[in-house]
Chains A and B, each alone.
Chain A
Amino acid sequence: MLVQDVLGLIGNTPMVDVSALSPNPGVRIVVKLEGVNPGGSVKDRVARYLVEDAEDRGVLTPGATLLEPSSGNTGIGLALVSRVKGYHLKVVLPENVSPERRQLIEVWGAEIISSPGAEGSNGAVRLARQLAVSHPEWVFLYQYGNPANPRAHYETTGPEIWRDLPEVTHFVAGLGTSGTLLGVGRFLKEQNPDIEVWTVEPPAGEAVDGLRTLDDGFIPPIFTNLGGEKLLDRKTVIGPKDSVKWTRRLADVGIFAGLSTGAAMAGAARCATQIPTGVIVVLSPDGGWKYLSADVWVGDLDAVVRRARQSVYF
């Protein structure tokens, strides 16, 4: 394989059969490994689409400054894309993300603006929206409200899954901005309306305590605007303990993935116990590299879980 620049390495990720971990012998489980993208996560796809969409709309001039809230992966992907294309980037990042995420964003020369750790991704979104108002000269890409985010998955991730595994019956992925679920889910259901889309989300934790009223709550505008509630078939909370356990089980079959992959696998395992037969595709957002400082794979499970609770990991 030879590509003209590093952006040509985004997408076309491999899938691996991990049915050895399936709790139901009638259910196959296959993991799509997004960690092999050049910035190390599924968000490289979104970063490229967000920037190229802004270019197509004519809102990006050479040397422009981009702004985006992120708990890590979108910031890293955007830092990579911005460096290759010659834009400046400011990433609003909760202060309690793992140090590897900060370091990666800085590898490609982006600037980090810290948001309060206790407010999690919610706080990063809130601060970025404030900054977008006070700095209209910055281009606010806003993955939570930008249809280019799900479109990246509708045009790339979804078709790749259908091309490689048309037997798929269930798709399981983390909720996050809902871009992956909306894009992949809509594409797969258009091919076969019987395919189910299941999602997992982390416990809301401290971010919820930062809300003064219910009206401070947040649902990604793309989720509401693109009919997310109708598209999803199930939504389950997966806690840090199950996420860590399943991240370790993946290592047993040789897969080095991040904690959000463990959470999605826990969701897939739950799905597998509730269906007689099927083929589940699990989206693995990233590899394990950014989680090494959290000692996810070795050591006492409870200590790892305590550390995971204190950081934004999915």
Chain B
Amino acid sequence: MPVEVRLPTLLRPATGGRAKVSADGATVGEVLRSVISEHPALGAQVMTEDGELHHFLNVYVNDEDVRYLERLDTRVASNDVVSILPAVAGGAT
């Protein structure tokens, strides 16, 4: 089941400049590992050595932050969109 994975500008050098890639997997972790195996330069940027998400990266499935779902075990289905974004300050502050 391919899902679309969207990448932020600063990760695009690792995908030859592509903003969207397609990857297979039943969970967010499987999808990310599949993207990393296609584009190994992403590996160290997206995941820590313990296989966790980089502290300053948020991963969303259809706009829901996976840290508050099942993290890397969050299920994905075809037509879901997985977005990877760096954490930045925002808000009505």
Which residues of A approach B to under 8 Å, CB–CB?
41, 43, 69-74, 120-122, 124-125, 143-144, 174-177, 201-202, 204, 207-209, 211-220, 229, 232-239, 258, 260, 285-286, 313-314
Set B63, B67, B87, B89: member contacting A121, Cβ < 8 A: B89
Interface residues of B in 50-71 (CB under 8 A from A): 54-57, 60, 63-65, 67-69
If A208-B8, A208-B9, A213-B10 touch, does A122 touch B64 (CB 8 Å cutoff)? no
Interface residues of B in 72-93 (CB under 8 A from A): 85-93
CB–CB B64/A234 < 8 A: yes
A–B pairs, 27, beta carbons within 8 Å: A41-B92, A43-B93, A120-B90, A121-B88, A121-B89, A124-B89, A174-B92, A177-B93, A201-B91, A204-B8, A204-B85, A204-B86, A208-B10, A208-B85, A211-B8, A212-B10, A213-B10, A214-B56, A215-B56, A217-B87, A218-B88, A229-B67, A235-B68, A236-B64, A236-B65, A239-B63, A314-B92
CB–CB A219/B87 < 8 A: yes
B22 lies within 8 A of chain A by Cβ: no
Q: Inside 8 A of A208's CB, which chain B residues have their CB?
A: 8-10, 85-86, 88
Nearest to B60 among chain A residues (CB) is A237
Bound form: Cα–Cα A124–B8 in Å: 21
CB–CB B45/A214 < 8 A: yes
Bound form: Cα–Cα A176–B93 in Å: 6
Q: Inside 8 A of B63's CB, which chain A residues have their CB?
A: 236-239
CB–CB B87/A218 < 8 A: yes
Shortest C-beta distance, A126 to chain B (Å), equals 9
CB–CB B90/A314 < 8 A: yes
Which residues of B approach A to under 8 Å, CB–CB?
8-10, 45, 54-57, 60, 63-65, 67-69, 85-93
CB–CB A217/B57 < 8 A: yes
Bound form: Cα–Cα A143–B89 in Å: 12
Q: Inside 8 A of B68's CB, which chain A residues have their CB?
A: 232-235
Bound form: Cα–Cα A216–B8 in Å: 13
Interface centre among A201, A217, A285 (most CB of B within 10 A): A217
CB–CB A286/B90 < 8 A: no
Shortest C-beta distance, A263 to chain B (Å), equals 9
Bound form: Cα–Cα A285–B91 in Å: 10
Bound form: Cα–Cα A144–B68 in Å: 21
Bound form: Cα–Cα A209–B85 in Å: 10
Shortest C-beta distance, B4 to chain A (Å), equals 16
CB–CB B93/A121 < 8 A: yes
Bound form: Cα–Cα A216–B54 in Å: 13
Q: Inside 8 A of A218's CB, which chain B residues have their CB?
A: 56, 87-89
CB–CB A175/B91 < 8 A: yes
If A208-B8, A229-B67, A234-B64 touch, does A176 touch B90 (CB 8 Å cutoff)? yes
